[in-house]
Structure 1
């Protein structure tokens, strides 16, 4: 029987995903007490409200995030997001991941490529927000040339946050390759053989949105 591995961080009121960005705020739009009184039948329900920026928790970047003429999250091909064969690249505790660290690019064709750095162990602490590992520009070029379906990382940012050119975002998204940031539990996955699903809500006009990313093990 197949089993699933959770690859997403949960979203909680007041959590910090990225330094300087507003924290998500959860509240109640209609409480059980209110709905129960309105129905008067002993049945009640709860409707919640959430206010957040799109870059909250584990989220996906669509091409529109960096390119005005690129696909938004609603226009992304589902084939890149659902039941995609995946490859995990192990780069635990590496300060950055360059082309050489990716290994044989022939295995990436049509696959979601997830980079395990181990940085997710710092999630929810100040350590997560500074000094995060990242991919280099030459690594992005390899992934583009290898026709990766999607690229994901368990770090704060796929790019070096000190580089304003953001070559990895710019290159991958320019090639139509979605990016998922802030993954977790990548150590629980095999190097190959699992399949990834990371679907955002199909919101038009947005380049980024939270996802529930899960891997299905064969």
Structure 2
């Protein structure tokens, strides 16, 4: 069994959405001060690094993170390579066989320097959601910060995926991951009020 970490490492220089809360980790208590332990403190946006979007992120009536079914974030996943594609669409994805999987993870290669927030990305076309639903897919993962274009206000792909009950995983790292079928684990924390949550996403190769 091989475990492949497809999560971004969280550190104080990790890029976040422009204007969003930066990630910071520091010590509230040091072992020297407390006499026994170091105790850390984290401040961050819920959409830092590799994360999931709950429907509440873009819908005031949508489910929060803790209400999402955990089985959606565990299961057989197909990794596909769409490097160079202008957009992730039904037409692009129709080339692949989704038999026996319930998740799809898409390598676009369009976020080339993860030390900086990207200026452009390969986004997901809104016709993708109904196609994936037909194929039995209940989660889509992308190697970019959003399934929609970065300047989108209407977020058509987010809303389309929600309508078809497909969970959203963003900011995964698929560098060096070969296309194929893996077991995915990308569990969010049980945050009762949250609109999103960083995850430790891993692929298990039998």
Q: Same fold (TM over 0.5)?
A: yes
How is 1:119-198 mapped onto 2 (pairs within 5 angstroms)?
119-125=110-116, 128-185=117-174, 187-192=176-181, 194-198=182-186
RMSD, aligned CA: 1.9
Paired residue secondary structure (2:151): coil
Query: Aligned residue for 1:63?
Result: 55
Alpha-carbon contact 2:23-2:44 (below 8 Å) kept: yes
Q: Could you tell me the TM-score, scaled by structure 1's length?
A: 0.86
Alpha-carbon contact 1:67-1:173 (below 8 Å) kept: no
Q: Could you tell me the TM-score, scaled by structure 2's length?
A: 0.91
CA distance in 1, matches of 2:191, 2:5: 23
CA distance in 1, matches of 2:144, 2:21: 19
More helix by share: 1
Alpha-carbon contact 2:147-2:157 (below 8 Å) kept: yes
Alpha-carbon contact 1:63-1:174 (below 8 Å) kept: no
Structure 1 unaligned regions, length at least 5: 37-43
Report the CA distance between 1:217 and its aligned residue. Answer: 0.4
Residue 90 to residue 80, structure 1, CA distance change in 2 (3 Å): same
- Give the alignment partner of residue 72 of structure 2, picking from 73, 80, 99: 80
1:18-59 residue CA offsets vs partner (Å, 9 max, x unmatched): 2221211211111111222xxxxxxx3211001111111111
Alpha-carbon contact 1:87-1:112 (below 8 Å) kept: yes
- Give the alignment partner of residue 208 of structure 1, picking from 181, 196, 206: 196
Report the CA distance between 1:185 and its aligned residue. Answer: 2.4
Larger radius of gyration: 1
Alpha-carbon contact 2:66-2:192 (below 8 Å) kept: yes
Structure 2 unaligned regions, length at least 5: none
Runs of 4+ in 1 over 4 A off after TM superposition: none
Paired residue secondary structure (1:88): strand
Query: Aligned residue for 1:91?
Result: 82
Alpha-carbon contact 1:91-1:115 (below 8 Å) kept: yes
